[in-house]
Amino acid sequence: MAAAAPGQINTEPLISLGSRSVDCFKKLEHIGEGTYGQVFTARETRTGEIVALKKIRMDNEKEGFPITAIREIKILKKLHHENVVKLKEIVTSAGPERDELRNQGHERDEQENQGPDRDKQENQDTSKSKGGIYMVFEYMDHDLTGLTVRSGQTFTVPQVKCYMKQLLTGLHYCHVNKVLHRDIKGSNLLIDNEGKLKLADFGLAKYYCSNHEGNLTNRVITLWYRPPELLLGATKYGPAVDMWSVGCIFAELLHGKPILQGRNEPDQLNKIFELCGSPDEINWPDVSKLPWYNNLKPTKTMKRCVGEIFGHFDFHALDLLDHLLTLDPNQRWTAKQALNADYFWADPLPCDPKSLPKYESSHEFQTKKRKQQQQHQTEDVSKRSKSQHSHKNDCPPPIQHTVQAPPQLQGSHHPMTDNQPPLSAGPSHHHYGKPHSLPGGPSRYPPSGNQSGPYHMNRGDQAGGYSGRPYPPQGRAPPYAGSGPSAPSTGGAPAGYGIGPPNYSQNSQYGVPAADRGMSTRNEQYGRKY
């Protein structure tokens, strides 16, 4: 593909996908805000079809058309599968866009802003705009993160199996076609109300050679889903990187929240080693040859305790998880192996996607926005309450107001505090047993004795769940303090690779010394080293 000259857009990939104007669509709602684009629902004016429009960010036009968009278009043009989101076409806006700067294109705003002055105002606002490029996708009602957080969703075993099977089928298709996704996470797994799951966001995807000869960047995959080989600096890797992320998603679906919530790269590695054991030449041949191994290897030996921590999962689920969360990428299960796992063939079988319950649409962006609004409102209420209180002490009491919860909070279901039963998609005995405590600190997990169910997103007050902590840095933005894939320096606080390795001698993240976990007896039944 020809490189774009500075300041120009390389339209080469667009020609084959048509060049209709974005005016063929009416934007409806802002549903996604990613690193590389804003996503809107829109209606095609001629057919009435609802689509998702992803506006490609052109923040740095000097470098031409963004590489992530080129990748995404190039790869999605070739991938056609029922578990991969469909790129329908590319549309453009030639000149200044009417709604570009106007409050993120909400239809509500359009209705409120009718009148003769409107276009004049918009032209003034957007006079600097150079137009935009949009990818038009089939619309999907949810992303997995939005669905789980928004509805406080608990999934049944057949439901989890159904989603996992589709995820693995889509990924198997990508891998067979030599495409690495490199950003598998909940918000990139789209789900429609027919129960179909599709892989989305191929902005970091890459064609790969089977011989792993290429020198690839290791700064991909969102931190919590990033495999140990990338954290240790590998630049030759393959589909196994996606399979680690699948393992994280699988455990998250069963457990109800992300399982490895590192604060930075060393912390992420630390959490991985605490769960999966420390790497050595026996469980991971050649690990010591990885660029950052010497700086980031754990300072003490840790035993694998996947079977212990997730002992409440059923046998087959645990077996699959164990093969996915395998440190050595060469031993980690492929998508094909995972699809053949007994888990998918044992009762209860995966349900038919069509039998899954239908939910109100939910995307991670909206869920976060709603939560922020609620937080602001709560803060406002508490500020008002405090100021009333101080006035009360200063001067004669005014007419007393009862401080009420803002209307949005009244009677609404808060995804963080509600633990409502799900819209059932199957018998309740399909739920796994109660979860064990997991990494992340005491406030993130319910105290023992909590009656919440296993798939339950245990979102007690402040207890975390999906939104208990801001989402981790994207795989895309280089988060390394030292910058560059050179070996990190040693010593100092574990704030990034450039600063120093993590302090592995700290207490176990699980709150139980590794030696006290008694993992050996239980784990033997699985015939594998946990």
Ligand X SMILES: Nc1ncnc2c1ncn2[C@@H]1O[C@H](COP(=O)(O)OP(=O)(O)OP(=O)(O)O)[C@@H](O)[C@H]1O
As annotated, the binding site includes 54
Q: Which residues in the 444-483 window bind ligand X by CB under 6 A? A: 474
Q: How does 487-506 read in b/e, with b if 16+ C-beta sit within 10 Å?
A: ebeeeeebebbebbbbebee
Give me the DSSP letters along 245-311: HHHHHHHHHHHSS-S---SSHHHHHHHHHHHH----TTTSTTGGGSTTHHHHS-SS-----HHHHTT
What would the two tokens of residue 7 be?
Answer: 């300041």
Position among 139, 208, 466, 497 found at the interface with ligand X (CB under 6 A): 139
Q: Provide, rounded to whole angstroms, the least separation between the CB of residue 314 and ligand X.
A: 30
Alpha carbons 293 and 505: distance in angstroms, whole number:
17
Q: Provide, rounded to whole angstroms, the least separation between the CB of residue 77 and ligand X.
A: 16
Position among 9, 34, 69, 221 found at the interface with ligand X (CB under 6 A): 34
Residue closer to ligand X (CB basis): 222 or 326: 222
8 A C-beta contact, residue 248 and residue 183: no
Q: Using the rule CB under 6 A, is 52 a contact of ligand X?
A: yes
Candidate segments 34-42, 167-175, 210-218, 419-427, binder of ligand X by CB under 6 A: 34-42
Residue closer to ligand X (CB basis): 322 or 364: 364
Residue closer to ligand X (CB basis): 227 or 500: 227
Alpha carbons 156 and 486: distance in angstroms, whole number:
45
Q: Using the rule CB under 6 A, is 221 a contact of ligand X?
A: no
8 A C-beta contact, residue 193 and residue 166: no
Count the residues in the chain: 530
Candidate segments 134-142, 248-256, 434-442, 444-452, binder of ligand X by CB under 6 A: 134-142
Catalytic residue among 99, 141, 143, 183: 183
Closest alpha carbon to 313 in 303, 301, 325, 328 = 325
SS3 42: strand
Q: Provide, rounded to whole angstroms, the least separation between the CB of residue 168 and ligand X.
A: 20
* CA 433 vs CA 13, 216, 451, 454, 520: distances in Å: 50, 41, 10, 5, 21
Candidate segments 30-38, 59-67, 169-177, 447-455, binder of ligand X by CB under 6 A: 30-38
Q: Using the rule CB under 6 A, is 36 a contact of ligand X?
A: yes
Residue 183 appears among annotated catalytic residues = yes
Q: Using the rule CB under 6 A, is 35 a contact of ligand X?
A: yes
Q: Provide, rounded to whole angstroms, the least separation between the CB of residue 237 and ligand X.
A: 19
Q: Provide, rounded to whole angstroms, the least separation between the CB of residue 474 and ligand X.
A: 5
Residues touching ligand X, count (CB under 6 A): 27
Closest alpha carbon to 256 in 209, 293, 310 = 310
Q: Sketch the per residue contact string, 72 through 91, with ligand X: x for CB under 6 A, - otherwise.
A: -------------x------
Residue closer to ligand X (CB basis): 469 or 529: 469
Residue closer to ligand X (CB basis): 146 or 298: 146
Closest alpha carbon to 167 in 183, 189, 145 = 189
Look-up of token digits 């928004």: 150
Annotated binding site for ATP: 54
- Burial (CB count within 10 angstroms: exposed 0-12, middle 13-18, buried 19+), residue 410: exposed
Alpha carbons 170 and 150: distance in angstroms, whole number:
25
Q: Sketch the per residue contact string, 168 through 187, with ligand X: x for CB under 6 A, - otherwise.
A: ---------------x---x
Q: Provide, rounded to whole angstroms, the least separation between the CB of residue 190 and ligand X.
A: 5
Q: Which residues in the 249-268 window bind ligand X by CB under 6 A? A: none
Candidate segments 139-147, 345-353, 428-436, 442-450, binder of ligand X by CB under 6 A: 139-147
Q: Which residues in the 417-436 window bind ligand X by CB under 6 A? A: none
Residue closer to ligand X (CB basis): 61 or 125: 61
Position among 161, 271, 363, 430 found at the interface with ligand X (CB under 6 A): 363
At a CB cut-off of 8 Å and minimum separation 6, what does 401 contact? 388
At a CB cut-off of 8 Å and minimum separation 6, what does 484 contact? none
Q: Which residues in the 185-204 window bind ligand X by CB under 6 A? A: 187-188, 190, 200-201, 203
Candidate segments 32-40, 260-268, 303-311, 389-397, binder of ligand X by CB under 6 A: 32-40
Residue closer to ligand X (CB basis): 56 or 306: 56
Residue closer to ligand X (CB basis): 312 or 369: 369
8 A C-beta contact, residue 514 and residue 299: no
Position among 14, 28, 32, 208 found at the interface with ligand X (CB under 6 A): 32
Q: What are phi and psi of 335, to 5 degrees?
A: -60, -40
Closest alpha carbon to 313 in 395, 226, 254, 230 = 254
First CA to last CA across the chain, in angstroms?
46
Look-up of token digits 């957080």: 149
Candidate segments 28-36, 164-172, 235-243, 446-454, binder of ligand X by CB under 6 A: 28-36
Q: Which residues bind ligand X (CB under 6 A)?
A: 31-32, 34-37, 39, 52, 54, 85, 137-140, 143, 146, 183, 187-188, 190, 200-201, 203, 363-365, 474
Active site positions, annotated: 183
